[in-house]
Amino acid sequence: MLVFLLFALGRFYPPSQHSPPRRDFLTPGEQQGLFPFVLIFMLILINNLVNNKELMGDYINPQTFNSNSWVAVVTMIVLTRWMVVTSFFLS
């Protein structure tokens, strides 16, 4: 809680005149570049937890659900790349 409070207060505290401008967040291009890695990492992490028989018992996901999630991730990555490529060539 203290870390969040210090971060929130630091966002509204005016910078000094001699400090360089802050760049706190990623640009949209950098976010699109990280998108596939984040999706794949999340899917691997969740599948390893949900498909663990010792942890979940009888409530593990069926194989069709896992394959559907991988197809959805690959589709999102392809659509994101297509959007980036067409934004360069069609504008």
> Is there a domain that residue 13 lies in?
no
> Is there a domain that residue 19 lies in?
no
pLDDT digits (tens, 9 = 90+) for 37-71: 889 999 999 888 888 899 889 989 899 999 999 99
- Does residue 11 have a pLDDT over 70? no
Q: What is the span of the domain harbouring residue 69?
A: 26-89
d(C-alpha 37, C-alpha 45), whole Å: 12
> Is there a domain that residue 82 lies in?
yes
> Is there a domain that residue 73 lies in?
yes
> Is there a domain that residue 74 lies in?
yes
Full DSSP string of 27-86: -HHHHHHHHHHHHHHHHHHHHHHHT-HHHHTT-PPPHHHHHHHHHHHHHHHHHHHHHHHH
pLDDT value of residue 78: 92
Q: How many domains does the chain contain in total?
A: 1
pLDDT value of residue 35: 85
> Is there a domain that residue 11 lies in?
no
> Is there a domain that residue 64 lies in?
yes
**Highest mean pLDDT range out of 26-30, 55-59, 71-75?**
71-75
